[in-house]
Structure 1
Amino acid sequence: MNYEVLIIDDLPIIVDGYINLLSKTDFQENKLNFIKSHNCEDAYNKIFLNLKRQVNINLALLDISLPSYKEFNINDGVDLALLIREKFTDCKIIIITMYSEPLTVDRIIKKIKPEGFFSKNDITSESFPFICKKIIDGNIYQSTTIIESQRELFKKNINWDIYDNEILILISQGVKTTNLPNYIPLSMSAIEKRKANIKDQLLEGKGSDKDLVSKAKKIGLL
Structure 2
Amino acid sequence: MGLNILIVDDHPMTVDSYINLLSYSSLQEKNLHFIKSYNCEEAYNKINLYEKQNSIIHFALLDISIPPYKDLNINSGVDLASLLRKKFPFCKVVLLTMHSEALTVDKIIKEIKPEGFISKSDINFELFPVICQKVLNGEFYKSPTIIESQRELLKKNINWDNHDSQILILLAEGVKTVNLPNYIPLSMSAIEKRKANIKDQLLEGKGGDKDLIDKAKKLGLL
* TM-score normalised by structure 1 residue count: 0.95
Deviations 1:101-155 (A, max 9, x none): 1111111111111111111010010010011011111111111111111111110
How far apart are residue 179 of structure 1 and its match? 2.9
State whether structure 2 residue 210 is matched by structure 1 residue 206.
no
**Which structure 2 residues correspond to residues 4-19 of structure 1 after superposition, within 5 A?**
4-19=4-19
State whether structure 2 residue 220 is matched by structure 1 residue 220.
yes
Inter-partner Cα distance in structure 2 for 1:186 and 1:44: 28
**Which structure 2 residues correspond to residues 173-192 of structure 1 after superposition, within 5 A?**
173-192=173-192
Change (3 A) 1:176 1:10: farther
Say which SS state the counterpart of residue 27 (structure 1) adopts.
Answer: helix
Partner of 1:151: 151
Deviations 1:2-49 (A, max 9, x none): 111111112221111111111111226521111111211221111111
Partner of 1:108: 108
Letter in 1 for 2:156: K
Does the 8 Å contact 2:22/2:28 carry over to 1? no
Letter in 1 for 2:16: D
Inter-partner Cα distance in structure 1 for 2:32 and 2:174: 40
Unaligned runs of 5+ in 1: none
Inter-partner Cα distance in structure 2 for 1:75 and 1:183: 14
Letter in 1 for 2:204: E
**Which structure 2 residues correspond to residues 62-211 of structure 1 after superposition, within 5 A?**
62-211=62-211
Runs of 4 or more consecutive aligned structure 1 residues displaced over 6 Å after TM superposition:
none
Inter-partner Cα distance in structure 2 for 1:108 and 1:3: 26
Say which SS state the counterpart of residue 178 (structure 1) adopts.
Answer: helix
Change (3 A) 1:71 1:190: farther
Inter-partner Cα distance in structure 2 for 1:69 and 1:193: 33
Partner of 1:45: 45
Say which SS state the counterpart of residue 128 (structure 1) adopts.
Answer: helix
Taking only aligned residues, the RMSD between alpha carbons, in angstroms, comes to 1.4
Inter-partner Cα distance in structure 2 for 1:112 and 1:215: 27
* TM-score normalised by structure 2 residue count: 0.95
Q: What is the percentage of aligned positions where both structures have the same residue?
A: 68
Letter in 2 for 1:9: D
Inter-partner Cα distance in structure 1 for 2:12 and 2:217: 31
Inter-partner Cα distance in structure 2 for 1:164 and 1:177: 13
Inter-partner Cα distance in structure 1 for 2:211 and 2:192: 16
Inter-partner Cα distance in structure 1 for 2:95 and 2:125: 17
- Which has the larger displacement, 164-173 or 114-123? 164-173
